[in-house]
Structure 1
Protein backbone atom coordinates (compact mmCIF):
# COMPACT_ATOMS: atom_id res chain seq x y z
CA UNK A 1 0.00 0.00 0.00
CA UNK A 2 1.23 3.49 -0.80
CA UNK A 3 1.21 6.10 1.96
CA UNK A 4 -1.56 8.69 1.50
CA UNK A 5 0.87 11.51 0.73
CA UNK A 6 2.32 9.47 -2.16
CA UNK A 7 -0.99 8.69 -3.87
CA UNK A 8 -2.05 10.54 -6.96
CA UNK A 9 -5.80 11.16 -6.83
CA UNK A 10 -6.70 14.23 -8.87
CA UNK A 11 -7.35 13.78 -12.60
CA UNK A 12 -5.30 16.95 -13.21
CA UNK A 13 -2.22 15.25 -11.74
CA UNK A 14 -2.63 12.26 -14.04
CA UNK A 15 -3.08 14.58 -17.03
CA UNK A 16 -0.01 16.63 -16.09
CA UNK A 17 2.19 13.56 -15.77
CA UNK A 18 0.98 12.04 -19.04
CA UNK A 19 0.92 15.21 -21.15
CA UNK A 20 3.93 17.07 -19.81
CA UNK A 21 6.10 14.28 -18.48
CA UNK A 22 8.61 12.06 -20.20
CA UNK A 23 7.55 8.58 -21.28
CA UNK A 24 9.32 5.23 -21.38
CA UNK A 25 7.59 2.23 -22.89
CA UNK A 26 8.40 -1.38 -22.11
CA UNK A 27 6.69 -4.64 -23.15
CA UNK A 28 4.62 -4.84 -19.95
CA UNK A 29 4.07 -1.20 -19.03
CA UNK A 30 4.45 2.45 -19.94
CA UNK A 31 5.82 4.90 -17.37
CA UNK A 32 5.14 8.64 -17.51
CA UNK A 33 7.32 10.76 -15.21
CA UNK A 34 6.94 14.48 -14.61
CA UNK A 35 9.74 15.97 -12.53
CA UNK A 36 9.37 19.54 -11.31
CA UNK A 37 11.64 22.08 -12.97
CA UNK A 38 11.71 23.99 -9.70
CA UNK A 39 10.80 22.67 -6.30
CA UNK A 40 7.07 23.09 -5.96
CA UNK A 41 5.48 23.24 -2.58
CA UNK A 42 2.30 21.51 -1.59
CA UNK A 43 0.04 23.94 0.32
CA UNK A 44 -1.38 20.99 2.26
CA UNK A 45 2.00 19.62 3.31
CA UNK A 46 3.08 20.21 6.89
CA UNK A 47 5.77 22.83 7.11
CA UNK A 48 5.31 23.96 3.51
CA UNK A 49 8.31 21.93 2.33
CA UNK A 50 8.60 20.31 -1.07
CA UNK A 51 5.72 17.99 -1.91
CA UNK A 52 6.52 14.28 -1.92
CA UNK A 53 6.68 12.22 -5.08
CA UNK A 54 3.25 10.86 -5.99
CA UNK A 55 2.27 7.82 -8.03
CA UNK A 56 -0.82 6.79 -9.96
CA UNK A 57 -1.74 3.66 -11.87
CA UNK A 58 -3.80 2.97 -14.97
CA UNK A 59 -4.91 -0.60 -15.55
CA UNK A 60 -7.58 -0.82 -18.26
CA UNK A 61 -10.07 -3.58 -18.97
CA UNK A 62 -7.79 -4.73 -21.79
CA UNK A 63 -5.51 -6.18 -19.07
CA UNK A 64 -8.16 -8.62 -17.89
CA UNK A 65 -10.99 -9.20 -15.46
CA UNK A 66 -11.39 -7.11 -12.31
CA UNK A 67 -9.51 -9.73 -10.29
CA UNK A 68 -6.55 -9.68 -12.69
CA UNK A 69 -6.52 -5.87 -12.89
CA UNK A 70 -6.47 -5.58 -9.10
CA UNK A 71 -3.63 -8.09 -8.85
CA UNK A 72 -1.59 -6.14 -11.40
CA UNK A 73 -2.33 -2.88 -9.57
CA UNK A 74 -1.24 -4.33 -6.22
CA UNK A 75 2.01 -5.60 -7.72
CA UNK A 76 2.75 -2.26 -9.36
CA UNK A 77 1.95 -0.31 -6.17
CA UNK A 78 4.35 -2.52 -4.22
CA UNK A 79 7.11 -2.06 -6.81
CA UNK A 80 6.68 1.71 -7.04
CA UNK A 81 6.58 2.10 -3.25
CA UNK A 82 10.06 0.55 -3.04
CA UNK A 83 11.35 3.04 -5.64
CA UNK A 84 9.71 6.29 -4.48
CA UNK A 85 12.87 7.38 -2.67
CA UNK A 86 14.68 7.48 -6.05
CA UNK A 87 12.27 10.09 -7.42
CA UNK A 88 12.89 13.81 -6.92
CA UNK A 89 10.48 15.56 -4.52
CA UNK A 90 7.38 16.82 -6.29
CA UNK A 91 7.56 14.21 -9.06
CA UNK A 92 4.45 12.69 -10.57
CA UNK A 93 4.68 9.15 -11.92
CA UNK A 94 1.93 7.30 -13.78
CA UNK A 95 2.40 3.61 -14.52
CA UNK A 96 0.10 2.24 -17.22
CA UNK A 97 -0.11 -1.55 -17.42
CA UNK A 98 -0.28 -3.15 -20.86
CA UNK A 99 -2.27 -6.36 -21.50
CA UNK A 100 0.86 -8.54 -21.24
CA UNK A 101 1.23 -7.46 -17.59
CA UNK A 102 -1.66 -9.78 -16.71
CA UNK A 103 0.44 -12.90 -17.27
CA UNK A 104 3.78 -11.50 -16.10
CA UNK A 105 5.27 -12.46 -12.77
CA UNK A 106 6.50 -10.02 -10.14
CA UNK A 107 10.14 -10.17 -11.29
CA UNK A 108 9.33 -9.36 -14.93
CA UNK A 109 7.22 -6.38 -13.84
CA UNK A 110 10.10 -5.22 -11.62
CA UNK A 111 12.63 -5.49 -14.47
CA UNK A 112 10.40 -3.52 -16.86
CA UNK A 113 9.72 -0.83 -14.25
CA UNK A 114 13.42 -0.52 -13.43
CA UNK A 115 14.36 -0.30 -17.11
CA UNK A 116 11.77 2.43 -17.68
CA UNK A 117 12.94 4.42 -14.64
CA UNK A 118 16.58 4.11 -15.73
CA UNK A 119 15.62 5.79 -19.01
CA UNK A 120 13.66 8.55 -17.29
CA UNK A 121 15.89 9.43 -14.33
CA UNK A 122 19.29 11.12 -14.49
CA UNK A 123 22.29 8.85 -13.84
CA UNK A 124 22.76 9.65 -10.14
CA UNK A 125 19.15 9.00 -9.16
CA UNK A 126 18.81 5.82 -11.24
CA UNK A 127 21.82 4.28 -9.53
CA UNK A 128 19.67 2.39 -7.01
CA UNK A 129 17.88 0.38 -9.68
CA UNK A 130 18.77 -3.19 -10.61
Structure 2
Protein backbone atom coordinates (compact mmCIF):
# COMPACT_ATOMS: atom_id res chain seq x y z
CA UNK A 1 0.00 0.00 0.00
CA UNK A 2 1.22 3.47 -0.82
CA UNK A 3 1.35 5.94 2.07
CA UNK A 4 -1.37 8.59 1.83
CA UNK A 5 1.13 11.39 1.18
CA UNK A 6 2.37 9.54 -1.93
CA UNK A 7 -1.04 8.85 -3.53
CA UNK A 8 -2.12 10.82 -6.57
CA UNK A 9 -5.87 11.36 -6.48
CA UNK A 10 -6.62 14.57 -8.38
CA UNK A 11 -7.74 14.16 -11.97
CA UNK A 12 -6.05 17.39 -13.03
CA UNK A 13 -2.67 16.12 -11.80
CA UNK A 14 -3.16 12.87 -13.76
CA UNK A 15 -3.95 14.81 -16.95
CA UNK A 16 -1.02 17.18 -16.49
CA UNK A 17 1.46 14.32 -15.96
CA UNK A 18 0.19 12.41 -18.99
CA UNK A 19 0.12 15.45 -21.28
CA UNK A 20 3.32 17.24 -20.28
CA UNK A 21 5.46 14.61 -18.56
CA UNK A 22 8.18 12.37 -19.94
CA UNK A 23 6.96 9.01 -21.21
CA UNK A 24 8.44 5.54 -21.54
CA UNK A 25 6.67 2.35 -22.46
CA UNK A 26 7.12 -1.39 -22.39
CA UNK A 27 5.05 -4.43 -23.29
CA UNK A 28 3.04 -4.31 -20.05
CA UNK A 29 2.89 -0.65 -19.01
CA UNK A 30 3.47 2.99 -19.86
CA UNK A 31 5.06 5.38 -17.37
CA UNK A 32 4.55 9.16 -17.35
CA UNK A 33 6.76 11.28 -15.07
CA UNK A 34 6.31 15.00 -14.56
CA UNK A 35 8.87 16.89 -12.51
CA UNK A 36 8.07 20.56 -11.80
CA UNK A 37 10.49 23.23 -13.03
CA UNK A 38 11.45 24.05 -9.44
CA UNK A 39 11.06 20.76 -7.51
CA UNK A 40 10.63 20.96 -3.76
CA UNK A 41 12.81 18.24 -2.19
CA UNK A 42 10.64 18.31 0.95
CA UNK A 43 7.43 17.57 -0.97
CA UNK A 44 6.72 13.86 -1.49
CA UNK A 45 6.63 12.26 -4.91
CA UNK A 46 3.13 11.08 -5.79
CA UNK A 47 2.11 7.99 -7.74
CA UNK A 48 -1.12 7.29 -9.59
CA UNK A 49 -2.26 4.14 -11.37
CA UNK A 50 -4.46 3.73 -14.43
CA UNK A 51 -5.80 0.22 -15.06
CA UNK A 52 -8.59 0.20 -17.64
CA UNK A 53 -11.15 -2.47 -18.51
CA UNK A 54 -8.95 -3.46 -21.44
CA UNK A 55 -6.72 -5.21 -18.88
CA UNK A 56 -9.52 -7.57 -17.93
CA UNK A 57 -12.32 -8.09 -15.46
CA UNK A 58 -12.46 -6.65 -11.97
CA UNK A 59 -10.43 -9.48 -10.45
CA UNK A 60 -7.59 -9.08 -12.96
CA UNK A 61 -7.59 -5.28 -12.70
CA UNK A 62 -7.43 -5.40 -8.91
CA UNK A 63 -4.57 -7.93 -9.00
CA UNK A 64 -2.61 -5.72 -11.41
CA UNK A 65 -3.26 -2.63 -9.26
CA UNK A 66 -2.03 -4.38 -6.12
CA UNK A 67 1.15 -5.52 -7.83
CA UNK A 68 1.84 -2.09 -9.31
CA UNK A 69 1.22 -0.32 -6.00
CA UNK A 70 3.70 -2.62 -4.27
CA UNK A 71 6.30 -2.17 -7.01
CA UNK A 72 5.85 1.62 -7.18
CA UNK A 73 6.35 1.88 -3.41
CA UNK A 74 9.81 0.33 -3.83
CA UNK A 75 10.80 3.09 -6.30
CA UNK A 76 9.56 6.11 -4.29
CA UNK A 77 13.04 6.91 -2.95
CA UNK A 78 14.47 7.20 -6.48
CA UNK A 79 11.88 9.79 -7.58
CA UNK A 80 12.70 13.50 -7.31
CA UNK A 81 10.78 15.59 -4.77
CA UNK A 82 7.30 16.75 -5.80
CA UNK A 83 7.37 14.54 -8.91
CA UNK A 84 4.15 13.06 -10.28
CA UNK A 85 4.34 9.51 -11.62
CA UNK A 86 1.45 7.92 -13.53
CA UNK A 87 1.69 4.20 -14.32
CA UNK A 88 -0.75 2.99 -16.97
CA UNK A 89 -1.20 -0.76 -17.30
CA UNK A 90 -1.58 -2.26 -20.76
CA UNK A 91 -3.64 -5.41 -21.46
CA UNK A 92 -0.49 -7.58 -21.37
CA UNK A 93 -0.10 -6.70 -17.66
CA UNK A 94 -2.93 -9.09 -16.76
CA UNK A 95 -0.85 -12.10 -17.81
CA UNK A 96 2.52 -10.80 -16.60
CA UNK A 97 4.16 -12.00 -13.40
CA UNK A 98 5.19 -9.60 -10.65
CA UNK A 99 8.82 -10.04 -11.70
CA UNK A 100 8.01 -9.02 -15.28
CA UNK A 101 6.02 -6.00 -14.10
CA UNK A 102 8.85 -5.02 -11.75
CA UNK A 103 11.47 -5.30 -14.50
CA UNK A 104 9.34 -3.25 -16.90
CA UNK A 105 8.65 -0.59 -14.28
CA UNK A 106 12.31 -0.31 -13.35
CA UNK A 107 13.40 -0.07 -16.99
CA UNK A 108 10.77 2.58 -17.79
CA UNK A 109 11.64 4.64 -14.71
CA UNK A 110 15.32 4.63 -15.63
CA UNK A 111 14.42 6.03 -19.06
CA UNK A 112 12.19 8.85 -17.79
CA UNK A 113 14.43 9.87 -14.89
CA UNK A 114 17.63 9.99 -16.96
Instruction: For CA contacts below 8 A with separation 6 or more, give which structure has more relative contact order.
Output: 2
Unaligned runs of 5+ in 2: none
Q: Distance in 1 between matches of 2:49 and 2:93?
A: 13
* Higher alpha-carbon Rg: 1
C-alpha deviation, 1:50, in angstroms:
3.1
TM-score, structure 1 as length reference: 0.85
Unaligned runs of 5+ in 1: 41-48, 123-130
Give the aligned length.
114
Q: How does 1:1-130 map to 2 (within 5 A)?
A: 1-40=1-40, 50-122=42-114
> Contact 2:39 / 2:83 at 8 angstroms: preserved in 1?
no
Q: Distance in 1 between matches of 2:25 and 2:74?
A: 20
Per-residue deviation, residues 97-118 of structure 1 (Å, max 9, x unmatched): 0000000000000010011011
Partner of 2:75: helix, strand, or coil?
Answer: helix
RMSD (Å), alpha carbons:
1.0
- In structure 2, the partner of 1:128 is none
Q: Distance in 1 between matches of 2:69 and 2:20?
A: 22
Q: Which runs of 4+ in 1 moved over 4 A?
A: none
TM-score, structure 2 as length reference: 0.97
Partner of 1:119: helix, strand, or coil?
Answer: helix
> Contact 2:39 / 2:80 at 8 angstroms: preserved in 1?
no
